[in-house]
Amino acid sequence: MTTTSSGPVRIGTRASALATTQSGLVADLLRERLGREVELVEIATDGDRTQAAGTPLAGSSTTGVFVSALRDALLDGRVDVAVHSLKDLPTYPAEGIELAAVPTREDPRDVVVARDGLTLGELSVGSRVGTGSPRRVAQLHALGLGLDLVGVRGNVDTRIGKVRSGEYDAVVLARAGLARLGRLDEATEVLDPLQVLPAPGQGALAVECRSGEDLATLVAAAIDDPAARAAVSAERAVLATLEGGCSAPIGALAEVVEGEDGEELWVRAVALSPDGGLAVRMSASGSPADAVGVGTRLAAEMLADGAAGLTMETPDKRLNA
């Protein structure tokens, strides 16, 4: 194990307002709990450059586009810590890097920001609702509200601006982002996970360090939240297993709750056809200590029950016939 310099802890972050806010939260925690000086280092990512150019990002092939540049900076020593939105992390491990901490998670649900303070159910048929997420599109179609779901790109300001300008009637965003930016009062509805399950890892932050360094151990002891880590580990296991068997939109949410015999982990997951017409929805529970096992077994059952027949390109209309 190598020892990291006693100088400032350099945190790599994307340059967006949300990313720097999230990294700033981690910086504050590390200053408080490690007693170390901390500084933010902005790193440009391929995802940011692609988004600025207006190139679509939707789809599983884009997993990690916001992550690789930060990981490169971590591996080559430009930064000591990298902070990501955990839902952006690929499910496979990165050589030389470890997930040192998952801090306490923000509320993972999705929210609606709509004109005139409306909810989705109050919008008229044909209303234009913006989202760039196939997961949200499929689940919103499944609600049968007759909404016109259209792609939307850009940061929170850009997306909400399309509602304020009248271009869209509403947009759907992660509640966590609005909360961290202090803009939660702009949400007009919080979506119940019974209707729309969030993305695996949504609302959680990933704090990565170089493997085998003292700093990784220190960061873990200082800011890792065991309940948040168990929940996202289960959700990511669901995602990893389903991604191996289908390319359908996927939602998952896990929670650690108090059971009769101590803490229990509850996991809900859904895989859908892109139009929301077909869905495989299941839940499972188990020990937080076996979070990966619980998520993996749940996803395997979903694949066996028909999720393997769901794809992004050609929904199998015979499924569950």
Contact of 278 with 316, CB cutoff 8 Å: yes
Q: Is the domain of 87 the same as that of 218?
A: yes
Q: Is the domain of 285 the same as that of 236?
A: yes
pLDDT at 314 (0 to 100): 42
Helix (H, G, I), strand (E, B) or coil at 16: coil
Q: Is the domain of 93 the same as that of 28?
A: yes
Whether 196 maps to a domain, the answer reads: no
> Residue 53 is part of a domain; what is its CATH number?
3.40.190.10
Q: Is the domain of 179 the same as that of 210?
A: no
Helix (H, G, I), strand (E, B) or coil at 98: strand
Question: How many domains does one find in the chain?
Answer: 3
Whether 63 maps to a domain, the answer reads: yes
DSSP 41-57: EE---HHHHHHHHT---
Task: Report the distance separating Cα 192 and Cα 21, nearest Å.
Answer: 26
Whether 321 maps to a domain, the answer reads: no
Whether 186 maps to a domain, the answer reads: yes
**Which domain covers residue 32, as residue numbers?**
9-103+204-224
Averaged pLDDT for residues 10-34: 96
Contact of 113 with 131, CB cutoff 8 Å: no
pLDDT at 61 (0 to 100): 41
In Å, how far from its chain's centre is CA 246? 19
pLDDT at 246 (0 to 100): 76
Task: Report the distance separating Cα 257 and Cα 138, nearest Å.
Answer: 28
> Residue 266 is part of a domain; what is its CATH number?
3.30.160.40
Query: Which residue has 């609302």 as its token pair?
Result: 203
Q: Is the domain of 74 the same as that of 125?
A: no
Q: What is the pLDDT of residues 190-225, one digit of tens each?
A: 999 999 999 999 999 999 999 999 999 999 999 999
Averaged pLDDT for residues 279-300: 98
* Residue 243: count of CB within 10 angstroms of its CB: 18
The amino acid that residue 78 corresponds to is: R
Whether 82 maps to a domain, the answer reads: yes
* Residue 312: count of CB within 10 angstroms of its CB: 16
pLDDT at 313 (0 to 100): 55
Whether 197 maps to a domain, the answer reads: no
Task: Report the distance separating Cα 9 and Cα 100, nearest Å.
Answer: 14
Q: What is the pTM of this model?
A: 0.89
Whether 115 maps to a domain, the answer reads: yes
Q: Is the domain of 208 the same as that of 74?
A: yes
The amino acid that residue 88 corresponds to is: D
Q: Is the domain of 218 the same as that of 247?
A: no
Q: Is the domain of 208 the same as that of 63?
A: yes
Q: Is the domain of 45 the same as that of 186?
A: no
Q: Which of 80, 88, 110, 169 is catalytic?
A: 88
Helix (H, G, I), strand (E, B) or coil at 74: helix
The H-assigned helical ranges of the chain are 17-34, 46-53, 68-75, 134-142, 156-164, 175-180, 214-223, 226-243, 291-304
pLDDT at 60 (0 to 100): 40
Whether 130 maps to a domain, the answer reads: yes
Task: Report the distance separating Cα 283 and Cα 133, nearest Å.
Answer: 22
Q: Is the domain of 251 the same as that of 270?
A: yes
Q: Is the domain of 165 the same as that of 236?
A: no
Contact of 112 with 140, CB cutoff 8 Å: no
Residue 88 annotated as catalytic: yes
Averaged pLDDT for residues 168-187: 97
Q: Is the domain of 272 the same as that of 142?
A: no
